[in-house]
Amino acid sequence: MNNKSLKIDDLQASISGKKILKGVSLNIKKGEVHAIMGPNGSGKSTLAYTLMGHPSYKIEDGSLLLNDENINMLSPDERAKRGLFLAFQYPVAIPGVTVMNFLRNIYNKKIALANGGKPVSIFQFNTLLKERMGFLKMEESFAKRYVNEGFSGGEKKRLEILQLEILNPDLAVLDEPDSGLDIDALKVVSEGVNRAIEKGVGVIMVTHYARILNYVKPNFVHVFIDGRVVKSGGPELAKELEDKGYDWLKGKVNSKH
């Protein structure tokens, strides 16, 4: 189980012909927590989308190795099958599809893949869902709403974490799961992330602020500027960034790279 890993090697990617990722290398093992911190517009979401195979993002060079398999060319669902997951910074609405139906669908798909298993009944699933929603302090009526439609920022983030917990992937990229949350919501979301980590998921935590790292402890911190990792270190690096901001690192390229 612990040999599961994602190796990002010199990843370069562009959107609409514009190069955003300019050579990113990272090595994430299952169970580890990597924080990626960087200013707005530095390409953090681009990295997340490229890892997940968004069709608008083109890999120009470099490779993605998931458990030693090159996944550069795989579609998003093939990547999901192999254990990747993205909690979106801005999750999209799916009008008319209830949270409950949506979650049961993706859960059953996952189960069917995992062991060719039978789908769970509506009743079984609702029992599970109720429990998980309770953990995230979500009202029961939430399950009947349409996916991300008219959700507040905090509700969207919770639904992303709910999916993380229900799907239990091997490796999850969490793209700013903390943005726009008040302190209570931040705690609830962090607890969800920590439960997932306890179950063994590897995490790439993309964040703009160090705040969430007080609740979710990273093993590694990477500073991301202008499409590159310019510095890597331990948790103490987050503290340093909080004090000093990003400016002192601009124009710097990580020596390890």
Ligand X SMILES: Nc1ncnc2c1ncn2[C@@H]1O[C@H](COP(=O)(O)OP(=O)(O)O)[C@@H](O)[C@H]1O
Contacts with ligand X by CB under 6 A lie at 15-16, 18, 20, 38, 40-46
List Cα–Cα distances, 253 to 13, 25, 86, 193, 204, in angstroms. Answer: 18, 12, 27, 30, 20
Contact window for another protein (CB under 8 A) among 87-95, 126-134, 200-208, 229-237:
87-95
Q: Is 89 left (phi over 0), alpha (psi -120 to 50) or beta?
A: alpha
- Phi, psi (deg, nearest 5) at residue 247: -55, -40
161, 177 contact by CB (below 8 A): yes
Residue 42 interacting partner from ligand X, Mg ion, another protein, none (CB closer than 5 to 8 Å by kind) = ligand X
Determine the Cα–Cα distance for residues 129 and 113; give it in Å rounded to an integer: 20
Quick check: 96 binds another protein (CB under 8 A)? yes
- Please identify which residue in 5, 45, 168, 232 interacts with Mg ion, judged by CB under 5 A: 45
List, as one string, the DSSP characters of 37-65.
E--TTSSHHHHHHHHHT-TTEEEEEEEEE
Residue 40 interacting partner from ligand X, Mg ion, another protein, none (CB closer than 5 to 8 Å by kind) = ligand X
Which among 80, 20, 67 is positioned nearest to 47, based on CA atoms?
20
140, 165 contact by CB (below 8 A): no
Measured from the CB atom, is 82 or 228 closer to ligand X? 228
- Please identify which residue in 59, 94, 120, 253 interacts with another protein, judged by CB under 8 A: 94
Residue 41 interacting partner from Mg ion, another protein, ligand X, none (CB closer than 5 to 8 Å by kind) = ligand X
User: Which residues are CB-contacts of 254 (< 8 A; sequence separation ≥ 6)?
Assistant: 228, 229, 230, 231, 232
- By CB atoms closer than 10 A (0-12, 13-18, 19+), residue 55 is exposed
Measured from the CB atom, is 55 or 116 closer to ligand X? 55
Q: How far is the CB of 153 from another protein (least distance, A)?
A: 17
Measured from the CB atom, is 36 or 162 closer to Mg ion? 36
Which among 68, 85, 84 is positioned nearest to 9, based on CA atoms?
68
Q: Which of residues 166-195 bind another protein (CB under 8 A)?
A: 167
Q: How far is the CB of 43 from ligand X (least distance, A)?
A: 4
- Please identify which residue in 27, 56, 63, 72 interacts with another protein, judged by CB under 8 A: 56
Residue 14 interacting partner from ligand X, Mg ion, another protein, none (CB closer than 5 to 8 Å by kind) = none
Contact window for another protein (CB under 8 A) among 17-25, 31-39, 91-99, 185-193:
91-99
Q: How far is the CB of 226 from Mg ion (least distance, A)?
A: 14
Measured from the CB atom, is 47 or 159 closer to Mg ion? 47
Determine the Cα–Cα distance for residues 107 and 150; give it in Å rounded to an integer: 23
Binding site for Mg ion (CB under 5 A): 44-45, 89
